[in-house]
């Protein structure tokens, strides 16, 4: 993680270019998923809440690895090849997991967005699915409210409707969740508060130990 500041800065610029190409909100999630605490990385999320288009993964790789002296020329090449309108608006959402390196890396990503004259909305510590949801709703309000509260509400409403369905005699309203000391622990607890007592989520490895260590 300690060697990724320049990569996140460049990915901030890339998300601005992607937003201009798609005329839509693009997301950046700073996380290394199931890797251990010292690692970190970034996932770029396209307008419908899906992962970045594969052809742009190659562009991201090139931009991340190009020498500093070639950065400007590489950006100009991307802009020219994709006929990007430099004056078009760009909107980016960023989130991060609970890794200690996440805050500084998010600052680097935000600096990149600002350097490319994009607009940024920082949601702080959230889960990766929440970031996907926020991007999708920002581009299609009919899908839901583009807030963390909207995410929990949509899931809770769906769960409660399923709970009222027929053939539920075998249902046991209790699950055991290993949260690996990650961001999912507080998210699960917040989710449970909306379930009207219909589900008990017993969280283990709830944030008091090393991330993904067990």
131 contacts 29 by C-beta, under 8 angstroms: yes
Residue with tokens 């409707």: 161
> Does the pLDDT value for residue 145 go beyond 80?
yes
**Residue range 152-211, pLDDT digits in tens:** 999 999 988 888 876 666 777 888 988 888 788 888 888 888 888 888 889 888 777 666
| Interval 29-88: pLDDT, tens | 999 877 776 788 999 999 999 999 999 999 999 999 999 999 999 999 999 999 999 899
- The answer to whether residues 56 and 64 touch, using CB atoms and an 8 Å cutoff, is no
Provide the edge-to-edge strand list for the sheet that holds 25-30. 42-45, 25-30, 91-96, 119-125
Q: How many helices (H) and strands (E) does the chain have?
A: 7, 6
Give CA 28 to chain center in angstroms: 5
Task: Examine the residue annotation and report whether 33 is marked as an active-site residue of this protein.
Answer: yes
Burial class of residue 85, CB neighbours in 10 A (0-12, 13-18, 19+)? exposed
Model pLDDT, residue 169? 66
In Å, how far are 15, 65, 106, 203 from 57, measured between CA atoms?
A: 12, 12, 20, 35
The architecture of the domain spanning 4-143 is 3-Layer(aba) Sandwich (3.40)
The C-alpha angle with vertex 40 and arms to 207 and 189, in degrees rounded to 5, equals 25
Closest Cα to residue 93, out of 20, 5, 29?
29
What does the pLDDT read at residue 8? 96
CA-nearest of 181, 111, 180, 121 to 148 is 121
What burial class does residue 80 get, using C-beta atoms within 10 Å of its C-beta: 0-12 exposed, 13-18 middle, 19+ buried? exposed
Catalytic annotation, pick one of 19, 33, 54, 101: 33
The closest of 214, 37, 17 to 28, measured between CA atoms, is 17
Report the C-alpha gap between 141 and 137 in whole angstroms.
Answer: 5
Q: Quote the CA–CA distance of 205 and 186 in Å, as a whole number.
A: 11
Q: Where in the chain is the domain with CATH 3.40.120.10?
A: 4-143
Strands (E) in 33-185, as ranges, are 42-45, 91-96, 119-125, 174-178
Q: What is the pTM of this model?
A: 0.89
Rounded CA-CA distance 183/97 in Å is: 6
Q: Which residue has the higher pLDDT, 15 or 207?
A: 15
């Amino acid at each position: 993680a300690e060697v990724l500041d320049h990569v996140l800065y460049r990915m901030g610029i890339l998300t601005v270019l992607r937003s201009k190409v798609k005329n839509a909100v693009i997301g950046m999630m700073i996380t290394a998923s199931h890797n251990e605490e010292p690692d970190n990385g970034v996932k770029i999320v396209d307008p419908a809440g899906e992962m970045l288009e594969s052809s742009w993964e190659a562009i991201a790789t090139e931009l991340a690895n190009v020498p500093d002296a070639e950065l400007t020329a590489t950006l100009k090449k991307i802009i020219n090849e994709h006929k990007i309108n430099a004056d078009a608006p760009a909107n980016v959402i960023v989130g991060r997991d609970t890794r200690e390196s996440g805050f500084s890396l998010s600052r680097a990503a935000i600096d990149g967005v600002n350097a490319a004259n994009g607009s940024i909305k920082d949601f702080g510590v959230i889960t990766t699915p929440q970031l996907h949801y926020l991007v999708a709703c920002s581009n299609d309000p009919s899908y839901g409210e583009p807030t963390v509260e909207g995410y929990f509400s949509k899931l809770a409403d769906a769960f409660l409707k399923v709970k009222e369905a027929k053939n539920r005699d075998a249902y046991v309203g209790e699950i055991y969740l290993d949260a690996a000391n990650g961001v999912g622990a507080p998210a699960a607890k917040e989710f449970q508060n909306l379930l009207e007592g219909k589900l008990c989520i017993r969280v283990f490895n709830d944030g008091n130990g090393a991330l993904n260590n067990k």
